[in-house]
Structure 1
């Protein structure tokens, strides 16, 4: 059992029974959740953990492109003519602790890197949790987003309301139909941090891209990161998952993948998975060279899913989406393992862990989820 698992067990006692102190804390956290109401969150606070001692920290840009505007440069009265524009790179922030593991951990997310750094209610994010387990942690902003928001291709950015739809799609809970203000309630027993302040922080993570999405660019930047940092465990989430699997097919420096609720998977072009049909669309895999796909059988892959994923098509668009994504991911697992691969499914509900959202790594039990991941990496011999 990892130190993280022991920490979570100590907070909750044997058989996951909370101590008196933990019960008071959890009572504050989940007050009102049983009825679906929000409670006020705990104040922004220190995690109370041991100090993190770093050997080095910093950041860098990697990948991207340089474009040149035709014409002659005039230094006395410059115009774009003859000048260059460097953009489309990824931004990477890193922290290396003393006594670091031989493999690093690269967190490649679906949004900006903020959800790795902290939780909506101010607790330690996966960044700090895994630093305390002696991982060198690299956090990346994908091209044209966050601190990598410098694009060589223009786009029209149209502000669009959609936070209540995301509340449902990210499986925090359900919202009632009707005129504003729309009433949204957490699922009973939800592990999302309760309170309006936490939800406000969460909504502000939904950062828009400053340029058009480009899967080839995204993959090339990820490959450039891995080339630079060397052997690493790649942690993906949601929309970043497909590029993660594609990178692992090409770069042996990716020693394992932790796929948190993947929303895109590859498949061998000669044997694509059957499409998954829901009430709001059809989900398919992305065909790739069969020889490359077989490389995924060479590394351990852990696929995590939380709660409230329907087992069939849903009348809610956001939940129908998760029925389809979960089903296609199971096809991916079956295909890789049929070739002698090592894909392990971590269904939190099957471990008796209920209420986790699409963002289990920021939910109130993120230490417990991290402990399961650490246990898995320990068992694979990757956490030494």
Structure 2
């Protein structure tokens, strides 16, 4: 096994407050893993979703190898980040706002045991969460380890503002990189690419936050008035108060088990800073995202982005839910992502 060298550092952040009581807020902790033999030109930046920290990339709750070390062993420099105001990145309540935890029933129903009570059609296909007789539920040792890792976190749009700034600072520090995002972290991938054109070489969006514009299913917060995000993205023609984006929803879904997609109304504007970024949107068979991730891919395509949408079951990987990087076959999915990059990136 190759040796892996670790470097821990912070990017971004600013001092605030009156003289004598200033604090720093908005900074982001980064852990970089560098193997002895680096075989890929660009580093990978792994960005987690809501309530998660970098620990979810480092190991699984039942003690198996996580994606960060797996990718490092396969020749990648890997950066795992704790979003500002989360994990090893300090939360300053006066400047960052309130944080909220995810309650146990929500975690069980959406992340670990949807087959036992999930409210979406694909839930019964879920088989891959590790554990014993009561797997996926409080009281099972694997679930308890997972839930112990959950942290209270900020809602959007505050998290988007902080993460776009910190993510841009990270790209300024490490240079061009590939983003591997998950869930809420998917929002930050679009914002980072928009803030630093030419420094994001590809985005692998694993079940990215969505669907575009409005969540009619779970009513998950503020409308994404920029389509993919709440915070502004760069469109051509430009968006303004006098000329906002307009959206329209499908009259009927593509299939009964799918959501109706929101798209731009009329002649679509282009996401110019994402136009040259290869994008993968990857969705698991048994996740609640299986209902709507195709809408994110469709929105990207309509806005001029080169995007490939793949459902894991179509490449022979079945039974996964939303926390697929922690499930029994997690390294099979990592290997698929590694192969996708090999087919879509040049190393010159």
Distance 1:221 1:157, change over 3 A: closer
Kindly indicate whether residue 31 of structure 2 is the aligned counterpart of residue 93 of structure 1. yes
Report the CA distance between 1:277 and its aligned residue.
3.6
Give the length in aligned residue pairs: 292
Report the CA distance between 1:346 and its aligned residue.
1.9
Mapping for residues 50-61 of structure 1, pairs under 5 Å: 51-54=1-4, 56-61=5-10
Kindly indicate whether residue 47 of structure 2 is the aligned counterpart of residue 108 of structure 1. yes
Q: Secondary structure at the match of 1:169?
A: helix
Q: TM-score, normalised by structure 1?
A: 0.68
**Distance of 1:276 and 1:84 partners within structure 2:** 39
Paired residue for 2:95? 153
**Distance of 1:344 and 1:210 partners within structure 2:** 30
Paired residue for 1:163? 104
| Residue 293 of structure 1, aligned match among 271, 274, 281 | 271
Paired residue for 1:253? 199
Distance 1:86 1:250, change over 3 A: closer
Please report the RMSD computed on the Cα atoms of aligned residues, expressed in angstroms: 2.9
Paired residue for 1:65? 14
| Residue 216 of structure 1, aligned match among 158, 161, 166 | 161
Paired residue for 2:322? 358
Mapping for residues 122-133 of structure 1, pairs under 5 Å: 122-133=63-74
Paired residue for 2:136? none
Q: Secondary structure at the match of 1:303?
A: strand
> Which string of whole-angstrom CA distances, capped at 9 and with x for unpartnered residues, describes residues 164-188 of structure 1?
22211226324469xxxxxxxx956
Q: Secondary structure at the match of 1:123?
A: coil
Q: TM-score, normalised by structure 2?
A: 0.75
Q: Secondary structure at the match of 1:95?
A: strand
Q: Secondary structure at the match of 2:169?
A: helix
Q: Secondary structure at the match of 1:344?
A: strand
Paired residue for 1:225? 170
> Which string of whole-angstrom CA distances, capped at 9 and with x for unpartnered residues, describes residues 237-265 of structure 1?
10111121111123221110010101147
Distance 1:245 1:134, change over 3 A: same
Distance 1:357 1:119, change over 3 A: same
| Residue 129 of structure 2, aligned match among 174, 192, 195 | 192
8 Å CA contact 2:57–2:80 kept in 1: the answer is yes
Paired residue for 2:337? 373
| Residue 84 of structure 2, aligned match among 131, 143, 151 | 143
> Which string of whole-angstrom CA distances, capped at 9 and with x for unpartnered residues, describes residues 329-383 of structure 1?
13324314xx3x3211121012232111111111111111111111111112346
Which runs of 5 or more structure 1 residues have no equivalent in the other structure? 1-50, 71-81, 178-185, 267-272, 310-318
Distance 1:224 1:280, change over 3 A: closer
Distance 1:210 1:247, change over 3 A: closer
8 Å CA contact 1:167–1:174 kept in 2: the answer is no
Q: Secondary structure at the match of 2:208?
A: coil
Paired residue for 1:26? none
Kindly indicate whether residue 32 of structure 2 is the aligned counterpart of residue 83 of structure 1. no
